Homo-oligomer: A and B are copies of this chain.
Amino acid sequence: MSTPIRVAIMGYGNLGRGVEAAIAQNQDMQLLGVFSRRDPATIATRAPAYAASEIMAFQDRIDVLILCGGSATDLPEQGPSYARHFNTVDSYDTHAKIPEYFERVDEAAKAGGNVSVISTGWDPGLFSLNRLLGQAILPDGLDYTFWGKGVSQGHSDAVRRVPGVKMGVQYTIPAEDALARVRAGEEPTLSTREKHQRECFVVLEEGADQEEVRQAIVNMPHYFADYNTTVTFLSEEVLRRDHAAMPHGGYVLRSGRTGDNTKQLMEFSIKLGSNPEFTASVLVAYARAAHRYAQEGAVGAKTVLDIPFAYLSPKSGAALRKELL
């Protein structure tokens, strides 16, 4: 085996921890260190931990820097800034702002002579790939995406902002009957309410009124008003015991027609025990691709749509053709 790919992690929350675990599963990779804005002494990692501010001292030793910050405030600043000095991979997921983010990272990566793979993960990411595949193969057809069952951070945050809520977790649940209709080739027009249900688990502040909190949640515009939402109240102890995991999942379907109105269906789905660990595993596979592009002398920003799957694998083209085709 050739020299391992030297990877570093920027940001050590759930995603950063997932990346650390994923790197350990890939023998062609080596974790050089974890960088964080927190005091390195407080970082519970087996890898060397450093202050984020020290990273430039490692520029010559890091093949790929995996950015594990959030899309709201971290990545819009970190993405372009680190792309100037490192090959990077990130999971920037603010869908509407991806074109602008791409341009900014692309400019910085080109200026620095680096490769940056942006917006990996599963949506955007694997789901985007499957939407593109479905549209290219079945141009006469419709796309359907269902999310869940899984914890939505945005909706959980919304629940926690309701006065009287001490703790809360929200699950997005795809409607089985809607999914069944799509799979049957009906090509239904589905309302927001028909596609997903929302299930909230809430710990009340002392003295808060259950019915008032429930009404505030289920009638919240954008987040819950357009859905069938259930709210279940429980103790802090039970919430911590039963709702600490971060499962997620979802389905991308393409329902189309070929020839003389022949029905054709393509479906991709994932069922994740841990959303951050899976997203981290996708980041690590695309770190391998970033390294390969960099070795070939490529520069600039790329998305999952631009990268052949062969670049995700440690195996040679000949081995892949023999084993997988």
Q: Which residues of A contact B (CB under 8 A)?
A: 17-18, 21-22, 25-26, 95, 98-99, 102, 119, 124, 126, 128-133, 135-140, 183, 185, 258-260, 262-274, 277-278, 280-282, 285, 288, 303-310, 312-313, 317-318, 320-322, 324-325
Contacts and interface: CB of A to CB of B under 8 A. Distances in A.
A267 B270 contact: yes
A187 to B, nearest CB: 13
A148 to B, nearest CB: 14
Contact of A259 (B21, B264, B266): B21
Given A124-B325, A324-B128, A26 B139 contact: yes
B132 A313 contact: yes
Given A132-B309, A137-B312, A325 B98 contact: yes
A302 to B, nearest CB: 9
B305 A309 contact: yes
Nearest to A95: B325
A285 B325 contact: no
A260 B258 CA distance: 45
A204 B119 CA distance: 59
Nearest to A135: B313
Contacts of A264: 270-274, 277-278, 281
Contacts of A129: 309
A263 B306 CA distance: 29
29 contacts: A18-B258, A22-B258, A25-B139, A95-B325, A98-B325, A119-B325, A124-B324, A132-B312, A132-B313, A135-B313, A135-B324, A136-B285, A136-B309, A136-B312, A137-B285, A258-B277, A259-B277, A263-B273, A264-B270, A264-B271, A264-B273, A265-B270, A266-B269, A267-B269, A267-B270, A267-B271, A305-B308, A305-B320, A305-B324
A320 B132 contact: yes
Given A132-B324, A320-B305, A273 B278 contact: no
Contacts of A321: 98-99, 102, 303, 305
A140 to B, nearest CB: 5
A61 B10 CA distance: 53
B274 A258 contact: yes
Contacts of A307: 308
B262 A273 contact: yes
Contacts of A282: 137
A282 B254 CA distance: 14
B281 A262 contact: no
A281 B140 CA distance: 11
B325 A303 contact: yes
A60 B296 CA distance: 33
Contacts of A99: 318, 321-322
A310 B317 contact: no
A47 B139 CA distance: 21
Contacts of A135: 313, 324
A140 B312 contact: no
Given A137-B285, A259-B21, A321-B99, A183 B271 contact: yes
A317 B306 contact: yes
